[in-house]
Amino acid sequence: MFQRVLVTSEESHYSPQPLLKASALCAESSHIEWFQSVYNAAFETATAEDQPSQEDALALYVTHRLNQAERHIEELDLPQDVAADIRWHPSFLKAALEESDRYQPDLMVVPRVRKHDLLDWLIGGDEQELVRRLHEPVLLANDQPWQAHPRIAVAIDPFHLDSRNHRLEKQLLEVADHFAQRLSAELHVVHCFQTLPQSVIYDEHLAEDFESLQKQVGEEHRQRIESLIEPLNRPLGSPLLKLIVGDADEKLPEFCQQEKIDLLILGAPEKGWVERFLMGSTTARLLNRIESDILVIHDQ
């Protein structure tokens, strides 16, 4: 499914898990590039007065890090062809975006680094910015390994006011099903939806039968999702369907924690700039609230 995979990392944070997870998700014929941005402001300042010496020193430092990366790759002994690339750059975000433009991957893997900074929590850090600016699928990978038989969840929303004809939902289900079969994983299909609160119903007959109305709405959602799942042919068993009443921002993190989900697959529908400005992105907001690995797939 993914033939060109770009795994990124910062010098200050090395973990083998992003590489191992990238390898698990793609075929042996795939090519994986491990890109690492390195930078040390004090080192750069100390050699600034002698430009030729600085260039030589930086080249030696990058070569040293490249040798380290190649030793890590050799130790992991992955079945795919894996190459290391090191670049001196003060900004991991900009370096990763530039490397994505150069390499043109089918999948980009970014390590999840928890900063717990208030400003980062409010406006988003590198994870949110990468998801906003990239168009290829992005896997945000934790340091923790997956379970022997991972639990994969895919969040879908088949109720739209546009004319996408569920193409993003079908793509999400196809990717989730492929990964579930490849990893011998348990597959969950989850959908969060809202019913009208009883307080906004003014028709007394509808208000009296509110519980029936809720069941009717839930059943309509279930039928539409089951029609999307039906084409999946899974020898390991059918996906586990979970319908949750409530806001996705609140309910999806709870679901992932309770079910010990290893990988959550989310879609990022295309929106106009006015909608993004007024409402933001549910996908981007979820990045700060979900501890699981997250694969974000953009609507093309």
The per-residue pLDDT for 179 is 93
Instruction: Classify residue 58: in a domain, yes or no.
Output: yes
- In this structure, the answer to whether residues 171 and 265 fall within a common structural domain is yes
17 pLDDT exceeds 90?
A: yes
Residue pLDDT, tens place only, 215-250:
776 677 777 777 777 776 665 567 788 888 888 888
Domain final residue pick, 119, 141, 163: 141
Neighbours of 297 (CB within 10 A): 22
For position 103, which CATH number holds? Answer: 3.40.50.620
The per-residue pLDDT for 241 is 83
Residue with more model confidence, 145 or 268: 145
The per-residue pLDDT for 248 is 85
- In this structure, the answer to whether residues 17 and 119 fall within a common structural domain is yes
- In this structure, the answer to whether residues 161 and 294 fall within a common structural domain is yes
Average pLDDT, the chain: 81
Domain final residue pick, 98, 116, 141: 141
- In this structure, the answer to whether residues 168 and 268 fall within a common structural domain is yes
- In this structure, the answer to whether residues 159 and 290 fall within a common structural domain is yes
Over range 79-94, report the average pLDDT.
Answer: 93
- In this structure, the answer to whether residues 58 and 103 fall within a common structural domain is yes
Residue pLDDT, tens place only, 33-70:
999 999 888 877 777 777 788 888 888 989 999 999 99
- In this structure, the answer to whether residues 126 and 182 fall within a common structural domain is no
Question: Please, which pLDDT band fits residue 196 given cuts at 50, 70 and 90?
Answer: low
Question: Please, which pLDDT band fits residue 278 given cuts at 50, 70 and 90?
Answer: very low
211 pLDDT exceeds 70?
A: no
- In this structure, the answer to whether residues 60 and 105 fall within a common structural domain is yes
Domain final residue pick, 100, 122, 141: 141
- In this structure, the answer to whether residues 112 and 184 fall within a common structural domain is no
169 pLDDT exceeds 50?
A: yes
Number of domains in the chain: 2
The per-residue pLDDT for 242 is 86
Partners of 31 in the beta sheet?
A: 4, 81
The per-residue pLDDT for 164 is 52
- In this structure, the answer to whether residues 161 and 137 fall within a common structural domain is no
Give this prediction's pTM: 0.83
Whole domain around residue 61: which residue ranges? 4-141
- In this structure, the answer to whether residues 209 and 88 fall within a common structural domain is no
Instruction: Classify residue 146: in a domain, yes or no.
Output: no
